Structure 1
Amino acid sequence: MLKFYTFHIELMRQNPFKPLDETRLNFFHFKNLFTTGMGVFTDGYDLSSIGIVLAIVLSSYGIKPGSSTYVFYDSLVAGSALIGAAVGSIIFGQLSRMGRKKFYGIDVALMTVGALLQAFAPNAPTLIAIRFLLGMGVGADYVLSPMIMAEHTNAKDRGKIIALGFGMFWGFGATVAAAIALVLGYLHVSPDLTWRIVLAAGAIPAASVIYLRRKIPETARFLGRIEGNVEKVKEVVKEVAKSEVSIDADLKDNNGFGYYFRKNLRVFFGAMFLWFLFDIAAYSSILFGPTSIAKVLGLTPSLFQFMTEFAFTVPGGILAILLIDRVGRKPMQIAGFLGMAAFLLAFSLYLSSTGTSYDLKTGALVIGPAFSPLLGILLFGMFNFMEQAGPGSISASGMLGVELAPTKIRGQVQSFTVSAGRIGASFSSFVFPSLLATYGLSFAITFLSVLMFIAAAVTFFMIPETKGKPLEVSSGEITEIEQGQNKT
């Protein structure tokens, strides 16, 4: 405890991280954005591409709708990468205590190898195992990239940088996956070759940043608060902020995980629960939208994915980037969850009122005579828009985990929030098909709508605002009063 209060006093007198918080965006930040963002681009590509080609993957292995194993393999092929991501996030969250940069690059290397191996999978069980490996790399990246972005970026622009580097790059990756599938379809490439090319192409963006990630500097906050290496802190501050800093105190944080976890249990749980709820809805759409909802709307899987991402998700992400550091995380997330809930409910009611349904077990499709595909696309598309304008750029970008957790335990807390999200996504890969097969499409979508209303309430009651605050303030390492004294 004495060390904790000594750090408070020294930080009030001389904050070594202040130049990082107050510097303007510069070349380093944009290079860092590309280096971290391309991994996230790959995450978006890998996790969305399987939804686009899922039907032809199963068909190429002789697994047809109506067969006894169809729902089983439909869930496992879709969800294996998500289960791997939950495991990978926990492993690399623990490893991040040894350094943010130390394992940076291993994540994209795993994604590179996993993406390539998919093209040679001889059967569904092998593909499931390969996607589990790929998912471990995705989980690692979900932990490491937001932390490195946040710890290197200034306080004023941190929100938009994470929203761009994580939220938007994910959407770009998903859009490119859909575009490649569309081009291959236009060229009349055989379905068996199409899905192998689409999945394997995820190796290209991942491999492009392996070298850059190995060269990125360790963050000053890790060096100071965890390693206690004052000289290295000075070097990194000079490289990032182009500023000299004088440090006379020991910055190392000697508090344990238990101290901070007890102190911040409520907000940590809130961040974990929100990502869990969000991913249930988001991945129900990502994994099964191109196969189930696309059929109802009269679209091919690739065209469905391209339209929802390019026309709705990307514009939603742009809105988030423009407003997140002005309006704040909390109001945008609440508005996003409420919008998601409202448009899902409207889409569900529209399906019911027009007598439109889809049976996953048999593949039987019923389109009501009054059903308008254009209105259906608009309602479901606006769900995607609100998703990315709110929680897709906040909770699902890892922003809450990195901003609400103190440096000492940031990697562990981030791993818990990521794992909670991946468990939610895995849950959707098994539960959504079961709901769809048992109760129908309208019921399944209404269920997701209710979860989003709950998520809006959780955000309102459990999550504090972090807009524009240095990480030491937003995480509770120092108080607002001490930060104010430091400015004077």
Structure 2
Amino acid sequence: MVKGQQLEVLNALDVAKTQWYHFTAIVIAGMGFFTDAYDLFCSLLTKLLGRIYYDVPGASKPGALPINVSAAVSGVALCGTLAGQLFFGWLGDKMGRKKVYGITLVMMVAMSIASGLSFGSTAKSVMTTLCFFRFWLGFGVGGDYPLSATIMSEYANKKTRGSFIAAVFAMQGMGILAGGIVSLIVSSAFEAKFKPPPYKVNAVASLPPECDYIWRIVLMFGAIPAATTYYWRMQMPETARYTALVAKDAKQAASDMSKVLKVQIDAEEEKVDKIAKSERNQFGLFTKQFARQYGLRLLGTTSTWFLLDIAFYSQNLFQKDLFTSIGWIPPAADMNAIREVYMVARAQTLIALCGTVPGYWFTVAFIDIIGRWWIQMMGFFFMTVFMFAIAFPYKYWQQKENRIGFIIMYGLTFFFANFGPNATTFVVPAEVFPARLRSTCHGISAATGKAGAIIGAFGFVYASQEKDPAKRDHGYPAGIGKSKSLIVLGVINFLGMVCTLMVPESKGKSLEELAGEVEIDEVDDERKESA
């Protein structure tokens, strides 16, 4: 391979100054993650579904979703996401990023609306149709992971690439926050209009019939932000790295990027042919050459994402139960159904506002200064520390005078998840693999993460239940309890630190240099100066 082989069109992208198209790309790609987080983290609505469809007339305690139904509603979308990440990740490398990009968005919009229209004459039929629609919602969301990450990495310059990719992912935090805010607004509006009795009422009296509209409206609202970006998503040109290095169309790549960057770029067809014929750019995913060159990287990106998602999704999915157990939210029997939605949404919004969202944007601000590896290691370390800090003295935090301290500590675990591995595990796989396999490898990494999320969604819903039947939610089997579950999550975070040792640092390097597709030397520096 000849030195100085970097294409002019790719070098122009690497050294381009931050321009308007970078920010439009962040918004366009980020709306998929906004929808992702909004819909997948609306777990606060599962309590309302339990009261609507599983109340027992005359019962002294409000109904709760049976364990299998609760796990299905939370976990089926994650199963769909895993399948979508693998399928669309592979398809993005075969057909091109742009050709598949619109399909995922249409699926998200359609299935968000369909989830709110879930139908049936019995509780079982409503939950079945809801799970069906949420699976396909997750399938579309899954496709957005590898495609958005790959598109943003291939559009960005190498100096601020990490910030741009992290900013796309940070829209997930905005989606979590929006889910809580929309739930607050809708529940407040219904409570003000129908004025149900707020406290100390039996399950039936506390359930106005209008409650069935609340969860449907909240879920369908998630379709609006994604739908508004469809036109602009379709107007984006295919990335130059796919067009030149995978499709091998030098003229089209140069033409597209000349319009985007507003500079004249030569096609360099001979150089594209030479790169394409290089042995380093011929082998596939299931080969010894791939295993030798990229195997350790793939193991690092998959294992860290897997461990992170076990902890991260477990925290999100049973935070509503944690808040109740420490008394920050009144017991369900002391509230009507609408008030319960409001109280849980308020807690989720506060955690998102104070811990989750700032963590994402701290990563955006510092990822190209500190580096991906250090931020990921730091995040796992502090997640371990704070998880143990709230798990071992769990009874202490349950005392009324210590509850604010618990909320602060719990919020800090979310802050360092997002100013840490939740963002970096998304960024790194979009940078360290070759263009022809980039979307596929990101999809594999993300799908492995979602396997961890499924363990969190299914396993920790069971595990966090108390052994004492009097302390358990209706219909839930005995588990190891919340404190021991938090200790297990702390151990998982520690293992994430260990696996981070296999993850390479990608700060400040071009994608082709990281992947070994071309060998960069002083020629690029000369081009940079002339540009």
Counterpart in the other structure of 1:359:
none
One of 67, 71, 75 as aligned partner of 1:75: 71
Q: How does 1:8-23 map to 2 (within 5 A)?
A: 8-9=2-3, 11=5, 14-23=7-16
- The answer as to whether partners of 1:41 and 1:169 remain within 8 angstroms in 2 is yes
Contact 1:80/1:132 (<8 A) preserved: yes
Residue from 330, 335, 342 that aligns with 2:385 = 342
Is 1:452 the counterpart of 2:507 in the alignment?
no
Which residues of structure 1 form unaligned runs of 5+? 357-367
Are 1:100 and 2:97 counterparts? yes
* Cα distance, 1:120 vs structure 2: 1.9
Q: Secondary structure at the match of 2:354?
A: helix
Q: 2: distance between equivalents of 1:378 and 1:9? A: 53
Matches within 5 A, 1:386-405: 386-395=416-425, 398-405=426-433
Q: 1:320: Cα distance to partner? A: 1.2
1:152 and 1:240 in contact (8 A); partners too: no
Aligned position for 1:193: 213
Would you say the 8 A contact 1:52–1:291 is kept in 2? Answer: no
Report the residue type matching 1:394 in the other structure.
T
Match of 2:243 in 1: 223
**Are 1:33 and 2:29 matched, yes or no?**
no
Point out the more displaced range, 310-319 or 95-104. 310-319
Distance 1:447 1:152 in 2: 40
Preserved CA contact (<8 Å) 1:39 1:209: no
Residues 469 and 63 (structure 1), Cα distance of their counterparts in 2 relative to 1, 3 Å cut: farther
Contact 1:20–1:240 (8 Å) recurs in 2:
no
Among 165, 173, 178, the residue aligned to 1:176: 178
Q: 1:114 to 1:289 in 2, by over 3 A?
A: same
Question: CA shift at 1:478, angstroms?
Answer: 3.4
CA contact (8 A) 2:55 2:64 kept: no
Distance 1:184 1:449 in 2: 36
Instruction: Return the alpha-carbon distance in structure 1 between the equivalents of residues 29 and 55 of structure 2.
Output: 37
Measure, in 2, the Cα distance between the counterparts of 1:36 and 1:392. 17
State the one-letter code of the partner of 1:39.
Answer: G
Distance 2:155 2:217 in 1: 36
Q: CA deviation at 1:29?
A: 1.1
SS for the counterpart of 2:516 is coil
CA distance in structure 2 between the partners assigned to 1:46 and 1:87 by the alignment: 17
Q: Which runs of 5+ in 2 are unaligned?
A: 120-125, 192-209, 330-342, 466-478, 527-531
Give how far 1:288 is off.
1.7
**Alpha-carbon shift at residue 67 of structure 1 (Å):** 8.4
Cα-Cα RMSD:
2.0
Q: Which whole-Å deviations, capped at 9, do the CAs of 1:140-162 have from their partners, x for residues lacking one?
A: 00111011011001011111111
Who is 1:265 aligned against? 295
Q: 2:402 aligns with which of 345, 363, 372?
A: 372
Query: How much has 1:10 moved relative to structure 2?
Result: 5.8
Shift of 1:295: 4.4
SS of the residue corresponding to residue 187 of structure 1 reads helix
The CA distance in 2 between the partners of 1:323 and 1:182, in whole Å, is 32
| Partner in structure 2 of residue 315 of structure 1 | 358
| Match of residue 90 from structure 1 | 86
Evaluate the alpha carbon distance shift between residue 56 and residue 242 of structure 1 in structure 2; reply closer, same or farther with a 3 A threshold: same
Moved over 6 A (4+): 63-69
Distance 1:55 1:312, change over 3 A: same
TM-aligned CA distance change 1:209 to 1:439, over 3 Å: same
Aligned residue type for 2:410: F
Q: Deviations over 1:113-145 (max 9, x none)?
A: 111111121311111111001000110001110
CA offset digits 1:32-77 (Å, max 9, x no partner) = 111111111111111112x121111232221689989711111110
Shift of 1:473: 1.5
Amino acid at match of 1:279: D
Structure 1 match to 2:148: 145
Q: Percent identity?
A: 30
Structure 1 length-normalised TM:
0.90
| Contact 1:55/1:291 (8 A) holds in 2 | no
User: How far did 1:240 drift?
Assistant: 2.9
User: Matched residue of 1:338: which SS?
Assistant: helix
Task: State which drifts further: 277-286 or 260-269.
Answer: 260-269
Structure 2 match to 1:362? none
Equivalent residue, structure 1, for 2:44: 52
Give the number of equivalent residue pairs: 461
Cα contact 1:171–1:314 (8 A) shared by 2: yes
Deviation (angstroms), 1:19? 0.5
Q: Do the aligned residues in 2 keep the contact of 1:105 with 1:209 (CA within 8 Å)?
A: no
